[in-house]
Amino acid sequence: MYKLKEFKIKWGMVIDLDKCTGCGACMISCQAENNMAPMPDATDKMYSLTWMLVYRLTNGKSFPDHDVAYLPRPCVQCGNPNCVPVCPVIATTKDEEGGIVSQISPRCIGCRYCMAACPYHSRYFNWHDPVWPQGMEKTLTPFTSTRPRGVVEKCHYCHHRFKAAKEKARYDGRDPMKLGEDDYIPACAENCPTGAITFGDLKNPEHKVAQLAKSPYAFRLLERLGTDPQLYYMSKREWVRRQGDNYLEHEPTKGV
Ligand code: SF4
Ligand code: SF4
């Protein structure tokens, strides 16, 4: 597997699945923040671009034991990203200033090798040029470029917000590589009404995310693939943790 060096800062998330209500505010705020055109039909996979996608999980039991959980899934920002080494034009890289996996759309030739390589289905291909209904183009922001048809796109933890936070730190005379946890926060985490998404530097013990990631209830998606995601989930419900890491029936759950 492609092994990358460790970085000083590791931006990461912990999503508490016991707090997530599946409201979809993270999906909508992501689309608004990153200039995604409204979808004519969200079930049409030729059009839908959902960098943040909320999945519905169920324990498969009938009433009164039935239980559901909602699992928001952005790019998990792998430490060993399968998508990076397969790109023939270096249109996707692992950022050395925080470990975020980038997507450089003007360089992308649309071969979609990265989509085939990503085990999390976190990448999306633009089959069509984006279309904004009349008037809605006013919602476009200057922070993220729009993407034309023929290129791949994905979540990058609102990287423009990271750049802005570094600029502000420099302006204030602070070290841009020692940002506080409130200095940089992606749109999804900022807009989650239940506070289910915690964001920060996994390597900074002062950041809440670093403590939550060590919880006995924390797990990562398909952890045993060795992709080393910078996104953690947590749930006190054992069946949720087992589904998240694809346990086989006979395997004991790790942690508590
Ligand atoms: S689709 Fe773009 S990013 Fe993905 S492998 Fe091809 S060129 Fe690289
Ligand atoms: S989740 Fe997929 S797109 Fe994101 S870094 Fe990992 S392999 Fe790449």
Ligand positioned closest to the Cα atom of 84: 2
Our answer on whether the CB atom of 118 is closer than 6 Å to any ligand 2 atom is yes
* pLDDT number for residue 252: 83
Unique residue bearing structure tokens 């508590």 = 256
User: Whole-angstrom Cα distance, residue 192 to residue 110?
Assistant: 32
Q: What share of the chain has pLDDT > 70, as a percent?
A: 97
Structure tokens at 139: 């919602």
Contacts of 254 (CB under 8 A, 6+ apart): none
CA-based nearest residue to 243, from 66, 56, 20, 21 = 56
116 burial level (CB within 10 Å; 0-12, 13-18, 19+): exposed
The number of the ligand 1 atom at minimal distance from the alpha carbon of 104 is 3
The number of the ligand 2 atom at minimal distance from the alpha carbon of 84 is 8
pTM (2 d.p.): 0.92
* pLDDT number for residue 46: 78
| 29-86 pLDDT per residue, tens | 999 999 999 887 878 877 888 999 999 999 999 999 999 999 999 999 999 999 999 9
Residue 85 CA to ligand 1 center (angstroms) comes to: 10
Residues across the chain: 256
| 98-153 pLDDT per residue, tens | 999 999 999 999 999 999 999 999 999 999 999 999 998 888 999 999 999 999 99
Q: Evaluate if residue 160 carries a pLDDT over 70.
A: yes
By alpha-carbon position, which residue is closest to atom 7 of ligand 2?
A: 118
Structure tokens at 148: 């034309």
Spell out where 100-158 has E strands.
123-125, 152-154
* pLDDT number for residue 56: 96
Q: Which helix (H) or strand (E) holds 53?
A: strand 53-58
What is the sign, positive or negative, of the torsion defined by CA atoms of 243, 249, 255, 256?
positive
76 burial level (CB within 10 Å; 0-12, 13-18, 19+): buried
* pLDDT number for residue 2: 52
Residue 123 CA to ligand 1 center (angstroms) comes to: 10
What is the sign, positive or negative, of the torsion defined by CA atoms of 196, 200, 203, 208?
negative
Residue 180 CA to ligand 2 center (angstroms) comes to: 26
Residue 6 CA to ligand 2 center (angstroms) comes to: 17
Mean pLDDT of the chain: 93
| 199-209 pLDDT per residue, tens | 999 999 999 99
User: Whole-angstrom Cα distance, residue 108 to residue 51?
Assistant: 17
Our answer on whether the CB atom of 92 is closer than 6 Å to any ligand 1 atom is yes
pLDDT confidence band for 4 (50 / 70 / 90): low
User: Whole-angstrom Cα distance, residue 232 to residue 88?
Assistant: 29
Q: Evaluate if residue 250 carries a pLDDT over 90.
A: no
Q: Evaluate if residue 254 carries a pLDDT over 80.
A: no
Our answer on whether the CB atom of 231 is closer than 6 Å to any ligand 2 atom is no
Q: What is the mean pLDDT of residues 232-246?
A: 92
pLDDT confidence band for 94 (50 / 70 / 90): very high
Asked if 10 and 98 count as a contact pair (C-beta separation under 8 A), the reply is: yes
Our answer on whether the CB atom of 82 is closer than 6 Å to any ligand 2 atom is yes
Residue 70 CA to ligand 1 center (angstroms) comes to: 30
What is the sign, positive or negative, of the torsion defined by CA atoms of 32, 37, 42, 48?
negative
The number of the ligand 1 atom at minimal distance from the alpha carbon of 125 is 1
Residue 189 CA to ligand 1 center (angstroms) comes to: 27
Q: What is the CA radius of gyration of the chain?
A: 18
